[in-house]
Structure 1
Amino acid sequence: MTAPIRLAVIGMGKIANDQHLPAIAANPDFDLVATVSRSGEPVGDLPLFPNIDALIASGPVVDAVALCTPPQVRRAIAATALAQGWHVFLEKPPGATLAEVVTLENAAQAAGASLFASWHSRYAHGVEPARAWLAARTIQRVTVTWREDVRVWHPGQEWIWAAGGFGVFDPGINALSIVTRILPRPFFLEDAVLDVPANRQAPIAARLNFRDDAGVPIAADFDWRQEGPQHWDIVVETDQGILRLADGGATLTLPTGETPTQADGLHGEYPGLYARFAEVIRAGTSDVDVAPLRHVADAFLRGKRETVEPFVE
């Protein structure tokens, strides 16, 4: 495929409007042809459909869809799109369960379509230089602090507190997507504590302890109750000093004080995601890494649940 990829965006919430639409508009590989949402306004003169079945029935020519819906409902929509032979971009997390993502990957292969499980934080400017620098060092300890105010970043999003909504792991999985990318060895969960509000199904905070194959400890502190300054930081202690990733991976500081960034010329995480989506479509491949989701699943499997005060927005 060499012509622009005709794309429909499904799920026109905050992330679609704030991140997806600007990235699509700036990428000549894509031509936005329709949007799908149960509510909201059309984008310019483009048609707006209430669901994917209405999109299919209307007959617009579509090559690919970007799914920005909550994860609990995404599998059925993605399966329908793949059955049409459409390429599928999955907003993070790629699904509500590991099994459904594997099922979608198999469906994409059977349909000859591309499936892209996106992890936007991996496209932050400091991530790839951090990965390259750590590859030649001995890692001694990793500390992750991901603390933000849910009222600021996810106002009114009730689905996120329901079963399958991930709770604090919605931002926490961003940290895990970076750590699984920059560390040279796989790691596993040893123990976790999940703070679950008395009136919710999903945790508002989590403390996790991992260890890699060489015995290196990795500690993560995720919290949605942070007021004041927000923290999205990863600190890696090595035999040659401390590497720091701040601002969700956007700012890398090496022990020398250097602050290198990736040299691909992209500005922002979502432009990088759409460049990668176009790449896998044109190559006829898929990009589905479930490592971050696997660690979240392990936290729910092994984590100790502690009931905390109700959360009222």
Structure 2
Amino acid sequence: MTFTAEQDALRDSVRKLLDREADPWPELCEQIGVAALAVPERFGGLGAGTTELQVVAEELGRVLADVPFLGSAVLAVHAVLAASNDEACDRLLPRLAEGVVGAVAWTDAEGRWDAPACRVADSAVEGEAHYVLHGDEAEILLVVADGSLYEVTDARRERTAAMDETRRLARVRFDSAPARLIGPVDLGALRDVACAVLAAEQAGAAARAFELTVEYSKQRHQFGRPIGGFQALKHRMADLHVLVETARSAAYAAPESSRLAAAAKVHCSEALATVAGEMIQLHGGIAITWEHPAHRYFKRAHGAAHLFGSPADHLARVRPPLS
């Protein structure tokens, strides 16, 4: 993978800001403009591509940052753009570019991507959407129903408990909520962008989990020597290194096609789960204490694997149909 000087500078800026800010979203928006990356310049954005979104997501994944980047700067922005409604773009995209939080609701209680949970009748939305990223705090609430994107202001929102406390999810209930039609949206294309960016986030989390595990293996001694010096652990570390590197390669190849986006979702989910599991095992008892971050990477691995569809769902898109 080869990155441009601008992409490397973006990565460096995001990493430095995340190192010093406890609540990074305001500064990420004001100083770096991450919320404006995917917004075209004519709507007040930076007009960047998917690779730039992935660079930011990879860095956010490394520290498990709880920010509305994926749900707002990626999903909400791309949903509005996909509807091809200039009036809606003029009205919503400048606000999203400034860092106003947006959310897209569509998923049913089973977490399925291809079966929107809501429907429209007489210009009003009915139904209950689950796993809405930052849905409880979004100022711009969008919902996919009957193949189109709608803007809704009146909805009952509730933050839902999740094993991964670094991922903010909500349940949103629409009771005949007045809806403003934005336009038709290709949910499959939106899914592919989301999977590509999420895969980069997973690759970043896997890389950091691996780094922490290597560091610990050099510090922990057993039988008078660091455990990282034992041959069996060297082989395990080598296998994890390959997983991390292939996950990163798969993630950055994901935007090339729908099939590669599905493959990246499958491989990056499995890679992060494997690395996080090994992190827990090699750290021993300390890994499941609140003071150590190992359990947080393990929980992120589980939650991210099922976001936007489970690996099994996406594997079916990768495999060729049986003749």
TM-score over 0.5 for the pair: no
TM-score normalised by length of structure 1: 0.31
More strand as a share of residues: 1
Higher relative contact order (CA 8 A, sep 6+): 1
TM-score normalised by length of structure 2: 0.30
More helix as a share of residues: 2
